[in-house]
Protein backbone atom coordinates (compact mmCIF):
# COMPACT_ATOMS: atom_id res chain seq x y z
CA UNK A 1 0.00 0.00 0.00
CA UNK A 2 1.84 3.04 -1.31
CA UNK A 3 0.62 5.88 0.90
CA UNK A 4 2.93 8.45 -0.67
CA UNK A 5 3.32 8.42 -4.43
CA UNK A 6 5.61 10.23 -6.79
CA UNK A 7 4.22 9.23 -10.15
CA UNK A 8 6.99 10.71 -12.26
CA UNK A 9 10.15 8.60 -12.03
CA UNK A 10 12.14 11.28 -13.82
CA UNK A 11 12.05 14.91 -14.93
CA UNK A 12 14.35 16.75 -17.30
CA UNK A 13 14.55 20.56 -17.23
CA UNK A 14 16.66 23.25 -18.88
CA UNK A 15 18.87 25.37 -16.66
CA UNK A 16 17.12 28.56 -15.57
CA UNK A 17 13.63 27.12 -16.03
CA UNK A 18 11.22 25.97 -13.34
CA UNK A 19 11.27 22.39 -12.04
CA UNK A 20 8.00 21.09 -10.63
CA UNK A 21 8.05 17.83 -8.72
CA UNK A 22 4.76 16.30 -7.67
CA UNK A 23 3.65 14.07 -4.83
CA UNK A 24 0.30 12.54 -3.89
CA UNK A 25 -0.71 10.92 -0.63
CA UNK A 26 -3.63 8.81 0.48
CA UNK A 27 -3.42 8.85 4.27
CA UNK A 28 -5.53 11.74 5.58
CA UNK A 29 -3.76 11.46 8.96
CA UNK A 30 -0.56 12.89 7.47
CA UNK A 31 -0.12 16.44 8.69
CA UNK A 32 3.47 17.27 7.96
CA UNK A 33 5.32 16.95 4.67
CA UNK A 34 8.98 17.15 3.77
CA UNK A 35 11.12 17.17 0.65
CA UNK A 36 14.56 15.62 0.57
CA UNK A 37 17.27 15.67 -2.08
CA UNK A 38 19.53 12.68 -2.45
CA UNK A 39 22.74 11.96 -4.32
CA UNK A 40 23.85 8.37 -4.94
CA UNK A 41 25.51 6.66 -1.99
CA UNK A 42 24.65 9.56 0.32
CA UNK A 43 21.90 10.16 2.82
CA UNK A 44 18.93 12.36 1.96
CA UNK A 45 19.40 16.07 2.58
CA UNK A 46 16.46 17.97 4.04
CA UNK A 47 15.23 20.72 1.72
CA UNK A 48 11.95 22.16 2.87
CA UNK A 49 8.85 21.19 4.79
CA UNK A 50 5.26 22.25 5.24
CA UNK A 51 2.66 21.76 7.90
CA UNK A 52 -0.89 20.89 6.94
CA UNK A 53 -2.11 24.18 8.39
CA UNK A 54 -0.35 26.00 5.55
CA UNK A 55 -0.70 25.83 1.81
CA UNK A 56 2.65 27.29 0.85
CA UNK A 57 6.16 27.52 2.23
CA UNK A 58 9.05 29.24 0.53
CA UNK A 59 12.79 29.06 1.11
CA UNK A 60 14.98 30.73 -1.47
CA UNK A 61 14.61 28.97 -4.79
CA UNK A 62 12.42 26.26 -3.26
CA UNK A 63 8.68 26.54 -2.72
CA UNK A 64 6.38 23.77 -1.56
CA UNK A 65 2.65 23.94 -2.21
CA UNK A 66 0.10 21.81 -0.39
CA UNK A 67 -3.43 21.11 -1.60
CA UNK A 68 -5.05 19.19 1.23
CA UNK A 69 -8.36 18.63 -0.50
CA UNK A 70 -6.56 16.96 -3.40
CA UNK A 71 -4.01 15.30 -1.11
CA UNK A 72 -1.32 16.69 -3.36
CA UNK A 73 1.87 18.61 -2.84
CA UNK A 74 4.47 19.94 -5.19
CA UNK A 75 8.00 21.30 -5.00
CA UNK A 76 8.93 24.19 -7.27
CA UNK A 77 12.56 25.02 -7.94
CA UNK A 78 13.13 28.37 -9.61
CA UNK A 79 15.49 28.89 -11.33
CA UNK A 80 16.76 25.35 -11.79
CA UNK A 81 20.52 24.84 -11.73
CA UNK A 82 22.64 21.87 -12.87
CA UNK A 83 23.64 21.29 -9.24
CA UNK A 84 19.98 20.54 -8.49
CA UNK A 85 20.28 17.29 -10.45
CA UNK A 86 19.55 14.55 -7.92
CA UNK A 87 16.77 12.26 -6.70
CA UNK A 88 14.00 14.12 -4.87
CA UNK A 89 11.91 12.35 -2.26
CA UNK A 90 8.63 13.47 -0.86
CA UNK A 91 7.96 12.29 2.72
CA UNK A 92 5.00 12.54 5.06
CA UNK A 93 4.30 11.99 8.71
CA UNK A 94 1.57 12.12 11.28
CA UNK A 95 3.35 14.58 13.54
CA UNK A 96 0.75 14.52 16.24
CA UNK A 97 -0.04 10.85 16.22
CA UNK A 98 1.38 7.74 17.78
CA UNK A 99 3.62 7.04 14.80
CA UNK A 100 5.85 9.81 16.14
CA UNK A 101 8.91 10.17 13.97
CA UNK A 102 8.02 7.70 11.24
CA UNK A 103 8.46 9.19 7.80
CA UNK A 104 6.69 7.58 4.86
CA UNK A 105 8.56 8.20 1.63
CA UNK A 106 7.57 8.30 -2.00
CA UNK A 107 9.62 6.37 -4.55
CA UNK A 108 11.54 9.44 -5.65
CA UNK A 109 11.86 11.49 -8.83
CA UNK A 110 15.16 11.82 -10.66
CA UNK A 111 15.63 15.45 -11.66
CA UNK A 112 18.13 16.27 -14.39
CA UNK A 113 18.88 19.92 -15.09
CA UNK A 114 20.63 20.47 -18.42
CA UNK A 115 23.01 23.41 -18.89
- How does 83-113 read in b/e, with b if 16+ C-beta sit within 10 Å? ebbbbbbbbbbbeeeeeeeeebbbebbebeb
Interface size with another protein, residues (CB under 8 A): 26
Letters for 36-65 (x = contact with another protein by CB under 8 A, - = none) are x----xxxxxx--x-x--------------
Residue in 57, 43, 49 with CA at minimum distance from that of residue 90: 49
Q: Are strands 72-77 and 56-59 parallel, antiparallel or unpaired?
A: unpaired
Q: Does 25 bind another protein (CB under 8 A)?
A: no
Among 22, 57, 81, 99, binds another protein (CB under 8 A): 99
Residue 17: CB minimum distance to another protein, A: 27
Among 32, 65, 71, 112, binds another protein (CB under 8 A): 32
Amino acid sequence: DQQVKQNSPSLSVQEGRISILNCDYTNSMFDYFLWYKKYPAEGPTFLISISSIKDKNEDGRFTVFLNKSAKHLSLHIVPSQPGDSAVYFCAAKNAGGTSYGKLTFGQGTILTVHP
